[in-house]
């Protein structure tokens, strides 16, 4: 086999989460399934959900890691590279194939800064040399007039628009065919109903969002064959490549930190509200004490301890990827441990009300155990609050990674993340001319993810919160 699979701890956890969420949707309670069905009928939820699914797809592709097999040598066993790659790296390998000397602006054909350049006649001058990617693609073509600067960009952009529209139409037809087969109607009738806006699902909103995503992706794919779409950074790396690779880090921070937060918040919150007495006092003392400690200082202290552990135990990490993965998991753990108090307070207050309900009192009178009452009567009535809090806290944890990386205590500097991009680009804003695209790219990708998560969270609240639903 020409490759060896590699399962990092974060990869295993994220795939287990995907499996658990899928099982919840498939085998969940009827009220949960009904809530999700009503959620996707909202136009805002449909648009935001498609964008989030696009991010999730990128993150999952970047969570399938492997090592390539090294060339065989006589008398030696099979050896694999120490470099860990992912499926996403293979799909976007073109973006990182050409290393430039320094900065280049988005869709530019020359470097942004002057460099010593050798002319064809052998003279050495200080100028703006052509990019390596641009030169490589130009040497492979012999079309007359095809390398006039702006016409080439327009031609590639229009071809990307056409490919994106066709791809969106094909995906829409496939989904419509599945829906028509499932509902026992003809494809033509389903499409007519969807176009007239009479279908339960907001088809026009979904199609418009899918078309925009496909068009943008196709345009970037076409432009990337000739240009660096979002430019390059100080050491000549493609900014689009770093932005795409940062998606996995952002999703990991939001998802894994939420998984750490939930058991603490749910278990302690329900226990405090149901039992009361000394149990309630002890739990309140714990989260009040935790809140009195500045969160940033606690995180910094924990990260420094973790760095010392990595440096003193290098044998535990067989690659740079595993070392970066361990630091990411530890950061998620410490963020989760310091972020559960808010949800715990909410669940405690709701449990105080639920334990006085008639059906809880009846179950207690009939001799049902406290743990069974909390699991069968209290927890199901708190699921809407837990679900809403999960989605809303997700965006906060994504932003927390950017802030911590900006302070230098975030993920590993070798790991691609939007926080590391912002930290590396902040000093370039004071130079003249300003190098703005690395910061703008990281901010743009993070802004779209956080905005989509917030809009989706608002739709989740309307779908699952009985008191917050619109009349």
Secondary structure class of 367 (helix, strand, coil)? coil
Given a cut of 80, is residue 65 above it in pLDDT?
Answer: yes
Question: Is 37 in contact with 26 (CB distance < 8 Å)?
Answer: no
Element containing residue 5 per DSSP (H, E): strand 3-6
Local confidence band at 268 (pLDDT 50, 70, 90 cut-offs): very high
Q: Pick from 137, 108, 93, 101: which is nearest to 231 by CA?
A: 108
Given a cut of 50, is residue 63 above it in pLDDT?
Answer: yes
Given a cut of 70, is residue 71 above it in pLDDT?
Answer: yes
Provide the pLDDT for residue 10.
85
Q: Cα dihedral sign for 10, 63, 307, 288?
A: negative
Helix, strand, coil tally for the chain in percent (to 5) = 70, 5, 25
Which residue has tokens 């699979």? 5
Please, what is the average pLDDT of the chain?
Answer: 84
Rounded CA Rg of the chain: 26
User: Which is more confident, 233 or 408?
Assistant: 233
CA 398 vs CA 128, 330, 450: distances in Å: 38, 15, 7
Task: Count the alpha carbons within 13 Å of 381 in the hemisphere toward its beta carbon.
Answer: 19
Local confidence band at 390 (pLDDT 50, 70, 90 cut-offs): confident
* CATH 3.30.70.100 at 245-464, yes or no: no
In the chain, where does the domain assigned CATH 1.10.3720.10 lie? 245-464
Q: What is the number of H-type helices and E-type strands within the chain?
A: 18, 5
Q: Are strands 124-127 and 85-86 parallel, antiparallel or unpaired?
A: unpaired
User: Which is more confident, 302 or 174?
Assistant: 174
Provide the pLDDT for residue 30.
65
Q: Pick from 353, 105, 119, 372: which is nearest to 236 by CA?
A: 105
% pLDDT > 70, the chain: 93
Provide the pLDDT for residue 470.
47
As a whole number of angstroms, the distance between CA 111 and CA 230 comes to 13
Q: Within 10 Å of residue 120's Cβ, how many Cβ atoms?
A: 5
User: Which is more confident, 327 or 320?
Assistant: 327
Secondary structure class of 229 (helix, strand, coil)? coil
Q: Are strands 124-127 and 115-118 parallel, antiparallel or unpaired?
A: antiparallel
Provide the pLDDT for residue 445.
93
Provide the pLDDT for residue 173.
92
As a whole number of angstroms, the distance between CA 460 and CA 184 comes to 29
Q: Are strands 85-86 and 65-68 parallel, antiparallel or unpaired?
A: antiparallel
Mean pLDDT to the nearest integer, 192-196: 85
Provide the pLDDT for residue 191.
86
Which residue has tokens 């911590």? 404
Q: Are strands 115-118 and 3-6 parallel, antiparallel or unpaired?
A: unpaired
Torsion of CA 319, 324, 327, 331, to 10 degrees: -160
Question: Is 419 in contact with 406 (CB distance < 8 Å)?
Answer: yes
Q: How far is CA 172 from the centre of its chain?
A: 24
pLDDT tens, position by position, 155-182: 888 999 999 999 999 999 999 998 888 8
Q: pTM for this one?
A: 0.88
With a CB cutoff of 8 Å and minimum separation 6, the contacts of 251 are: 14, 55, 56, 59, 398
DSSP code at position 72: P
Provide the pLDDT for residue 171.
93
Local confidence band at 53 (pLDDT 50, 70, 90 cut-offs): very high
Provide the pLDDT for residue 469.
52
Local confidence band at 310 (pLDDT 50, 70, 90 cut-offs): confident
Mean pLDDT to the nearest integer, 15-27: 79
Provide the pLDDT for residue 467.
56
Structure tokens at 374: 């909390």
Cis peptide before 433 (omega within 30 of 0): yes
Local confidence band at 29 (pLDDT 50, 70, 90 cut-offs): low
As a whole number of angstroms, the distance between CA 269 and CA 288 comes to 13
Local confidence band at 428 (pLDDT 50, 70, 90 cut-offs): confident
Question: Is 407 in contact with 331 (CB distance < 8 Å)?
Answer: no
Q: Within 10 Å of residue 105's Cβ, how many Cβ atoms?
A: 18
> Which residues on adjacent β-strands are paired with residue 80?
69
Mean pLDDT to the nearest integer, 346-350: 91
Provide the pLDDT for residue 11.
86
DSSP code at position 346: H
Burial class (CB in 10 A: 0-12, 13-18, 19+), 441: buried
User: Which is more confident, 148 or 359?
Assistant: 359
Given a cut of 60, is residue 282 above it in pLDDT?
Answer: yes
% pLDDT > 90, the chain: 24
Of 176-190, 230-244, 268-282, which range is least confident? 176-190
Buried b (16+ CB within 10 A) or exposed e, 201-218: bbbebbbbbbbebbbebb
pLDDT tens, position by position, 212-249: 999 999 999 999 988 899 999 888 889 999 999 999 99
Provide the pLDDT for residue 187.
85
As a whole number of angstroms, the distance between CA 268 and CA 282 comes to 10
Local confidence band at 52 (pLDDT 50, 70, 90 cut-offs): very high
User: Which is more confident, 317 or 72?
Assistant: 317
């Amino acid at each position: 086999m020409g490759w060896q699979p590699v399962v990092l701890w974060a990869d295993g956890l994220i795939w287990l989460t995907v499996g658990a969420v899928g099982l919840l949707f498939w085998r969940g309670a009827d009220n949960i399934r009904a809530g999700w069905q009503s959620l996707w009928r909202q136009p805002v939820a449909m648009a935001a959900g498609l964008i989030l699914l696009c991010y999730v797809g990128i993150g999952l592709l970047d969570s399938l890691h492997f090592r390539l097999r090294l060339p065989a040598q006589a008398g030696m066993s099979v050896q694999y590279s120490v470099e860990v790659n992912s499926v996403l790296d293979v799909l976007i390998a073109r973006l990182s194939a050409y290393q430039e000397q320094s900065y280049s602006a988005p869709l530019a054909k020359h470097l942004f800064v002057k460099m010593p350049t050798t002319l064809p006649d052998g003279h050495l001058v200080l100028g703006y040399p052509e990019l390596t990617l641009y030169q490589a693609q130009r040497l492979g073509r012999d079309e007359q007039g095809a390398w006039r600067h702006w016409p080439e960009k327009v031609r590639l952009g229009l071809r990307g628009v056409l490919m994106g529209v066709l791809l969106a139409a094909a995906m829409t037809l496939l989904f419509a065919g599945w829906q028509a087969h499932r509902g026992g109607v003809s494809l033509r009738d389903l499409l007519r109903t969807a176009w007239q806006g009479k279908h339960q699902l907001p088809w026009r909103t979904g199609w418009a969002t899918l078309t925009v995503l496909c068009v943008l992706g196709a345009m970037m794919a076409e432009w990337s064959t000739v240009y660096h779409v979002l430019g390059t950074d100080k050491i000549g790396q493609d900014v689009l490549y770093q932005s795409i690779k940062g998606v996995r880090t952002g999703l990991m921070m939001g998802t894994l930190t939420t998984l750490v937060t939930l058991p603490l918040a749910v278990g302690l919150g329900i226990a405090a509200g149901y039992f009361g007495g000394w149990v309630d006092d002890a739990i309140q003392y714990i989260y009040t004490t935790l809140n009195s400690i500045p969160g940033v200082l606690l995180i910094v202290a924990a990260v420094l301890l973790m760095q010392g552990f990595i440096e003193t135990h290098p044998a535990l990490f067989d690659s740079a990827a595993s070392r970066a993965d361990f630091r990411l998991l530890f950061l998620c753990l410490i963020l989760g441990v310091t972020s559960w108090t808010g949800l715990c307070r909410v669940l405690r207050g709701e449990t105080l009300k639920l334990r006085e309900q008639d059906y809880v009192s009846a179950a207690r009178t009939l001799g049902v155990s406290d743990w069974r009452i909390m699991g069968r009567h209290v927890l199901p009535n708190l699921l809407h609050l837990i679900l809403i809090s999960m989605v809303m806290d997700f965006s906060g944890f994504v932003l927390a990674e950017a802030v911590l990386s900006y302070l230098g205590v975030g993920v590993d500097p070798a790991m691609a993340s939007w926080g590391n991009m912002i930290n590396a680009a902040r000093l370039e804003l004071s130079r003249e001319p300003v190098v703005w695209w690395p910061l703008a790219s990281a901010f743009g990708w993070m802004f779209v993810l956080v905005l989509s998560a917030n809009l989706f969270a608002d739709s989740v609240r309307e779908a699952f919160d009985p008191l917050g639903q619109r009349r």
